[in-house]
Structure formats: structure tokens, C-alpha cells
Amino acid sequence: MELESTAGNGSPTQNEGARCQVLYSNAREQIQTGDVLLFRGTSAVSRIIRWGSRSPYSHAGLAAWWGDRLIVFQAVSRGAQVVPVSSAVDAYDGQVDWWAPKADITLDPEELLNHAVTMLGRAYAFSGVLRLMWRMAVRRFRGLRDAKDAPKELFCSQYDSYCYRKAGVDLVLHADDASTSPGDLATSGQLVMKGVLHADPSDKAARKLAAAPGKPKPKSKVA
């Protein structure tokens, strides 16, 4: 599978959309625990987040292998949760970009997974998002230290940043976890873009068939 290279600062190149397209089924076996999924949402809320962060990204999640399942840890309005990557790619209302740590990054995947699991069920940090938006508006990020204790509530990119830091990698050196936006993860210089994930057309058709009234549900595939 041929994948697009990225700019030196970790930002995707201008022609990423044309040359990075990859079916999820082709990329699945190459995705590793700790890879980051960054989402370019198109909803009204997503557009507000993208505008406020001056970034194309509105959401972030952590990919991980759990046995033979490929899942994504994410913090959404219902709280910190886990879903199959295949479902996240299929259901999202925008583009899903797959990022991975640079080759020279030493990440402890077991520690990352342990802390990601520990955070499951934590409430979504609505107030934390508002504080982040204010900090972005006034450009006040530096000098803030990460809390010693695990957060009781968190938002998407804070979840990623926290788990990475606990696994030995501070992704965004100039900001604490609670000041890290999805766009900060992309421009951290510690991740490289691997591709733009797309759901398999056959899977989309099967899910539409399953959702139709009176239709038998197809056998589910491993995510």
C-alpha cells in the first residue's frame, strides 16, 4: 500500500486527500496500538471547534488492539468510550486521518492501553472544552503544568495526550493535557500522517441493509 509522505513538521501535505486515500480493510493490519485518529467533522459543532482551534481537526481518538479487535478510545459527549475503528470510520460525518508516532518515538503500548482503559466511563469535560477555547482565543497555553492526579472528566485530545504522557511520551511539549487540541496533536512534530481512512463500500451497503425494516442483519465482521 502506497501512502503519502508528510511535511517536516508533521503536518499533512496539501495533496493528502488525493494521494492518501486508503480503505480501512487494507490499513487495518498496519494500524498499531497508540496510533492516533484525527477527525475532520462537518457538523455545526465540529466547525466551531475547527474554527476555534484554527485547525482542520475537530475530534481525536486512540487506536488500540484488544485481542483480535481493533478499537478506538475516544471521549465524546456521553463520556470516555471505546468503539470498533471500523464503526468509527463508517459512522463519522467527515474525514478520518490516520496518524502514527515517528519511528524514533519510544512508546509503551501496554501502559498506554492500561491508562486508556482506566479512563473509560469518565465524564466528558464540557467545561474543559470551553476553557480550551478561551485559552486558544487569548493564546495562553505555555507554563501550565499537568495535574498530578488523573482527570475526573476529559475531552477527546486531552484523553490522547494524557494516555501518551503516561506511556512515556509528552506529545505537545508547550501545553498541558487540558490545553491540547486535536490540531496540536497533528502539529506536535511527533506524529506522521499515514493515510485517510475510508469504510469499505461493501460494509456500508451491509449496514444499510441491516438497518432497513424487515431485513435480516448480516454477520458482523471483526473491527
- Does pLDDT of 16 surpass 50? no
Name the percent of the chain lying above pLDDT 70. 78
Name the percent of the chain lying above pLDDT 90. 59
- DSSP structure string for the chain: -----B-TTSPBPTTHHHH-EEEHHHHGGG--TT-EEEEE--SHHHHHHHHHHTSS--EEEEEEEETTEEEEEEEETTEEEEEEHHHHHHH-SSEEEEEEE-TT----HHHHHHHHHHTTTPEE-HHHHHHHHHHHHHT--TTPPPPSSPPSEE-HHHHHHHHHHHTT--S-TTS-GGG--HHHHHTSSSEEEEEEEE--HHHHHHHHHHHSTTPPPPPPPP-
What is the rounded distance in angstroms from the CA atom of residue 95 to the CA atom of residue 103?
Answer: 25
Domain ranges of the chain: 16-200
Q: Is the CATH number of domain 16-200 3.90.1720.10?
A: yes
pLDDT average, residue stretch 143-172: 90
- What confidence score (pLDDT) does residue 64 get? 98
Q: Tens of pLDDT along 176-191?
A: 999 899 999 999 999 9
User: What is the residue-averaged pLDDT of the chain?
Assistant: 83
